[in-house]
Amino acid sequence: MNAPEKLKLASSAAGRSVPHESARAQVSGNAHYVDDLPEVRGTLYAAPILSTVAHGRLLGVDSHAALAMPGVQAVVLASDIPGDTVLAAFAHDEPIFASDTVQHIGQVVGLVVASTVMQARAAARAVKLDIEALPALLDVRAAYAAQSYVLPPVFVRRGDAAQAIAAAPHTLSGQLEVGGQEHFYLEGQIAYVLPQEQGQWLVHSSTQHPGEVQHWVAHALGLANHAVRVECRRMGGGFGGKETQAGHLAVWAAIAAHKLGRPIKLRLDRDDDFSITGKRHPFAYDYTVGFDGAGRICGFQLLMLANCGFSADLSGPVADRAVFHADNAYFLADVDISSYRLKTHTQSHTAFRGFGGPQGVIVIETILSEIARQLGLDPLEVRRHNLYDAADTPNPQRNTTHYQMAVEDNILHPILSKIEQSAHYQERRKAISAWNAANPVIQRGISITPVKFGISFTATLFNQAGALVHVYTDGSVQVNHGGTEMGQGLNTKVAQIVADELGIPFESVLATAADTSKVPNASATAASSGTDLNGRAAQYAARNVRDNLAQFAAGLDGCGAGAVRFQNGQVITPTASRPFTSLVQQAYANRIQLWSDGFYRTPKIHYDKTTLTGRPFYYFAYGAACSEVAIDTLTGESRVLKIDILYDAGTSINPAIDIGQVEGGFIQGVGWLTTEQLVWNAKGALSTHAPSTYKIPATGDIPAHFKVDLWDQPNREDNVFGSKAVGEPPFMLAISVFEAMKEAIAAARGDGAVVQLAAPATAENVLRALTASAA
């Protein structure tokens, strides 16, 4: 199996596979999530009132029946909002509660507040909405035709793609449809809002962005930010779904709490969560590509249609990232990309692991394999042939992205070679070909796809972080930082980094809840950047305390501070060795500061968001996966048979956690591309609104052979501990599964036709791709 590699640095807290800092609490039921916190006396429960029409005029809300139901205390509507009735999202285009128009089925019109959560939910269904239906846009191509935008389109061009295509020996045009994805965090959205003294508020929110929850709640209540404190110890999963969406819950609950003067808990029923919250953006594409006889792309025209739903939310940066990653790992000489951000009457689609990256990567991977099949070449060779120049190439010619950033750290050439060998790709490709010739019912396919993923928030200002490190007089240490823990192991890694810096055991360091009253103005924990940013800030904070202690020890022993070392729980000078705890006690007695802040801002990055050019990313993370699948040509069913992954985590701070992120991200990507189908009915209602109908991968979907290796070289940029980010990039490696399915479909067809497979590759979509007449 895949037990994580043992430590390279046995004496150091960082670099080791220590278990997640909450693991023992989690397996014992003692890890608290918002719904588990002891409730304050007087707490009431809220449930949302949802629009039942995709687009319409809201003429009236009849609450009489609901108010007469057992336990019901109040109905809360837009008229109850004390501050701005529009959410403080950056586009300022989303009403907190729908009041005059409704724009999707599931849009929140208000809340019912009752003595129990089930009473509130039952009563919310009894509120009668008088809605005059208006025409609804439910299809992204219809929205494009209608020029229905949430934000203006963006165009990125280099060279003359049309001319390059015209001059190319071969061309290929096509369309692709890629579905969205429900986050399905196991802990649904929740907020618990408690009125405090003197107009202050405490919000327990399951959020990736406490600072934004604070800002939004204050804005809706008409208060200064300092009056609102937001705390989040942990989330039961986030995946981007609690970046902005958690803020809505907190604002809604706060308005109810304000109206009633009572603590309010708002915990969404899973079906409501599906109906209300945004998903990964579904995309549609038109492409034309020109290429030479070796499959090298000369010209590339791409139209990207992002289905954004009814409001902008994060659609701008999501669609931007889709543009940035439309190259994936490949040099595009002449390129012309048009990106449209389309308004439809559905949930407002939002951040989801990869943040548009997957929607960029999948289209170029689709094109490259199709080029290979058209030319009768191995797709791996075509991919390799289109890669950016390797990092060590003298006088690189093909290393500038379409957004004018130089790719200086490309290690995909050796990564692809290594996985090609370790996964026995060539031998298996031959064996699979022989199988397919002899076994017409079950057809197999294999594919290797790479990923190059840009690390940093594309909005440069978010690339900053703060932390606090407190050393107590018994030598125990607390660290607090602006990041949030959603399972990714951020707190574990940060504690490892702090322990490493102070030379003390991991167990001596405790990470505490994210809290807007400790580290202010923190960015969302997103963009895979949690450890890069917060880990560095915490390292700097710990370093400040260490410097204070080093100076103090140096003074005691008459040496330079630079000669003092911190390791194995000891502070060592050239003449003495003291336990860390003893030195701390001595330092306290001598009035030495034993706590500090730390602040970090990512260097080198800059980016012009009007032209989408610059250096948006500090570095790239790389990886590759080799996946083998089988499809049933009778039914379209498919199975993943084998997975090999090689991932570039730099110098891993915690190999077990990094492998966990790689595996989890990959399988989540497999779900996106296989079983996780979002279906909206003709009226615009999401029919797949619960796990009974929306199928994320389960235990049986994991092949026995599922092997992850970490690429063993440090980050070429100066990043904390030499590590690289790991949260999002592995998600895109699941495209190897989709590509392997297309290989199997092409083998089954045997007619050389372009494989028209829509994502997700459900059994029905696969059977359609197998049987559709050649275009």
Partner 1 sequence: MTTQTIRFIRRGQTVALGNVPPDRTLLQVLREDLGACGTKEGCGEGDCGACTVVLAEPENGHLRFRAINSCIRLAHSVNGMALWTVEDLAQADGSLHPAQEAMVQCHGSQCGFCTPGFVMSLFGMYQNSVCQGQSIRRSDAQEALSGNLCRCTGYRPILDAAQQMEQLPAVRIDEAALLQHLEQLALIRSAAEPDFAYKSPRSLDELTSARAADPGAQIVAGCTDVGLWVTKMHQHFDRVLDVTQVAELRQIEPHANYLQIGAAVTLHDAYTALVADRPQLHNFASRFAGLPVRNSGTLGGNVANGSPIGDSMPLLIALGASVVLANTHGTRELPLEDLYTGYRTNVMAADEVLAWIKVPRPNGDFMRVYKISKRFDDDISAVCLAINLTITDGSVTRASIGAGGVAATPVRAVQTEAALTGQPWTLATAHAAAAALRAEFQPISDMRASAAYRSEVLGNLLQRFWLESQGQTQINLAHFDVEACV
Which residues are catalytically annotated? 728
Site for partner 1 in 528-587 (CB under 8 A): none
Task: Please report how close the Cβ of residue 13 comes to partner 1 at its closest, in angstroms.
Answer: 17
Does 133 engage in binding with partner 1 (CB under 8 A)? Answer: no
How far is residue 210's CA from residue 224's CA, in Å, rounded to a whole number? 15
Task: Please report how close the Cβ of residue 235 comes to partner 1 at its closest, in angstroms.
Answer: 6
Binding mask 56-95 for partner 1 (x = CB under 8 A): ----------------------------------------
Which is closer to partner 1, CB of 406 or CB of 431? 431
Q: Which amino acid is at 267?
A: R
Which is closer to partner 1, CB of 616 or CB of 623? 623
Q: Could you say which DSSP state residue 326 is in?
A: G
DSSP secondary structure, 128-161, as one string:
EEEEEE------HHHHHHTT-EEEEEEEEEES-H
334 strand-pairing partners: 299
Site for partner 1 in 753-772 (CB under 8 A): 762-764, 767
Does 142 engage in binding with partner 1 (CB under 8 A)? Answer: no
Which is closer to partner 1, CB of 31 or CB of 572? 31
Interface stretch with partner 1, choices 57-65, 219-227, 263-271, 510-518 (CB under 8 A): 263-271
Does 486 engage in binding with partner 1 (CB under 8 A)? Answer: yes
**Of these, 170, 470, 695, 716, which contacts partner 1 (CB under 8 A)?**
695
Does 187 engage in binding with partner 1 (CB under 8 A)? Answer: yes
Three-state DSSP at 737 gives helix
Task: Please report how close the Cβ of residue 663 comes to partner 1 at its closest, in angstroms.
Answer: 4
- Nearest residue to 366 via CA among 283, 465, 468: 283
Which is closer to partner 1, CB of 556 or CB of 767? 767
Does 696 engage in binding with partner 1 (CB under 8 A)? Answer: yes
Does 348 engage in binding with partner 1 (CB under 8 A)? Answer: no
Which is closer to partner 1, CB of 142 or CB of 634? 634
Bond into 282 cis (ω within 30)? no
Which is closer to partner 1, CB of 219 or CB of 642? 642
Distances (CA, A) of 297 to 172, 202, 561: 11, 55, 57
**Of these, 16, 204, 345, 444, which contacts partner 1 (CB under 8 A)?**
444
Dihedral angle of Cα 128, 130, 133, 138, to the nearest 10 degrees: -30
**Of these, 22, 181, 456, 528, which contacts partner 1 (CB under 8 A)?**
22
Which is closer to partner 1, CB of 19 or CB of 396? 19
- Nearest residue to 732 via CA among 674, 677, 676, 662: 662
Site for partner 1 in 656-685 (CB under 8 A): 656-657, 659-660, 663-668, 675, 677, 679, 681
How far is residue 584's CA from residue 566's CA, in Å, rounded to a whole number? 12
Site for partner 1 in 227-246 (CB under 8 A): 234-239
Calculate the CA 615 to chain-centre distance. Answer: 21
Interface stretch with partner 1, choices 21-29, 76-84, 221-229, 286-294 (CB under 8 A): 21-29
How far is residue 229's CA from residue 211's CA, in Å, rounded to a whole number? 9
Which is closer to partner 1, CB of 516 or CB of 677? 677
- Nearest residue to 535 via CA among 474, 485, 592, 607: 485
Here the tokens at position 604 are: 């080198």
Site for partner 1 in 161-180 (CB under 8 A): none
Task: Please report how close the Cβ of residue 19 comes to partner 1 at its closest, in angstroms.
Answer: 5
Alpha-helical segments (H) within 151-232: 161-167, 210-221
Task: Please report how close the Cβ of residue 295 comes to partner 1 at its closest, in angstroms.
Answer: 29
How far is residue 579's CA from residue 12's CA, in Å, rounded to a whole number? 16
Site for partner 1 in 29-48 (CB under 8 A): 29-33, 35-36
Which is closer to partner 1, CB of 149 or CB of 435? 435
**Of these, 83, 179, 180, 188, which contacts partner 1 (CB under 8 A)?**
188
Task: Please report how close the Cβ of residue 416 comes to partner 1 at its closest, in angstroms.
Answer: 23
Task: Please report how close the Cβ of residue 631 comes to partner 1 at its closest, in angstroms.
Answer: 8
**Of these, 40, 65, 68, 118, which contacts partner 1 (CB under 8 A)?**
118
By DSSP bridging, strand 190-195 and strand 201-205 are antiparallel
Interface stretch with partner 1, choices 94-102, 380-388, 538-546, 689-697 (CB under 8 A): 689-697
Site for partner 1 in 600-639 (CB under 8 A): 628, 630-632, 634-639
Exposed/middle/buried for 572, CB within 10 Å: 0-12, 13-18, 19+?
middle
Which is closer to partner 1, CB of 300 or CB of 666? 666
Interface stretch with partner 1, choices 53-61, 481-489, 586-594, 619-627 (CB under 8 A): 481-489
Which is closer to partner 1, CB of 535 or CB of 669? 669
**Of these, 240, 454, 489, 503, which contacts partner 1 (CB under 8 A)?**
489
Task: Please report how close the Cβ of residue 726 comes to partner 1 at its closest, in angstroms.
Answer: 12
Site for partner 1 in 709-728 (CB under 8 A): none
How far is residue 726's CA from residue 665's CA, in Å, rounded to a whole number? 9
Task: Please report how close the Cβ of residue 734 comes to partner 1 at its closest, in angstroms.
Answer: 10
Site for partner 1 in 406-435 (CB under 8 A): 431, 435
Counting residues that bind partner 1 (by CB under 8 A) gives 98
Contact 614, 401 (CB under 8 A): no
Instruction: Answer positive or negative: Cα dihedral of 24, 26, 27, 30.
Output: positive
Task: Please report how close the Cβ of residue 635 comes to partner 1 at its closest, in angstroms.
Answer: 5
Which is closer to partner 1, CB of 273 or CB of 500? 273
Task: Please report how close the Cβ of residue 266 comes to partner 1 at its closest, in angstroms.
Answer: 14
What interhelical angle do 357-375 and 315-324 show, nearest 10?
A: 30
Task: Please report how close the Cβ of residue 5 comes to partner 1 at its closest, in angstroms.
Answer: 13
> How is the beta sheet containing 577-579 ordered, strand by strand?
565-567, 570-572, 577-579
**Of these, 642, 724, 742, 749, which contacts partner 1 (CB under 8 A)?**
642
Which is closer to partner 1, CB of 93 or CB of 271? 271
**Of these, 3, 10, 461, 589, which contacts partner 1 (CB under 8 A)?**
3
> How is the beta sheet containing 228-232 ordered, strand by strand?
72-76, 108-114, 44-50, 264-267, 190-195, 201-205, 228-232, 514-515
How far is residue 485's CA from residue 135's CA, in Å, rounded to a whole number? 42
How far is residue 363's CA from residue 385's CA, in Å, rounded to a whole number? 17
Exposed/middle/buried for 547, CB within 10 Å: 0-12, 13-18, 19+?
middle
Does 641 engage in binding with partner 1 (CB under 8 A)? Answer: yes
Does 23 engage in binding with partner 1 (CB under 8 A)? Answer: yes
How far is residue 618's CA from residue 606's CA, in Å, rounded to a whole number? 9
How far is residue 755's CA from residue 738's CA, in Å, rounded to a whole number? 12
Contact 493, 8 (CB under 8 A): no
Exposed/middle/buried for 435, CB within 10 Å: 0-12, 13-18, 19+?
middle
Task: Please report how close the Cβ of residue 349 comes to partner 1 at its closest, in angstroms.
Answer: 18
How far is residue 98's CA from residue 108's CA, in Å, rounded to a whole number? 6
How far is residue 171's CA from residue 167's CA, in Å, rounded to a whole number? 9
Does 599 engage in binding with partner 1 (CB under 8 A)? Answer: no
Here the tokens at position 412 are: 């995909």
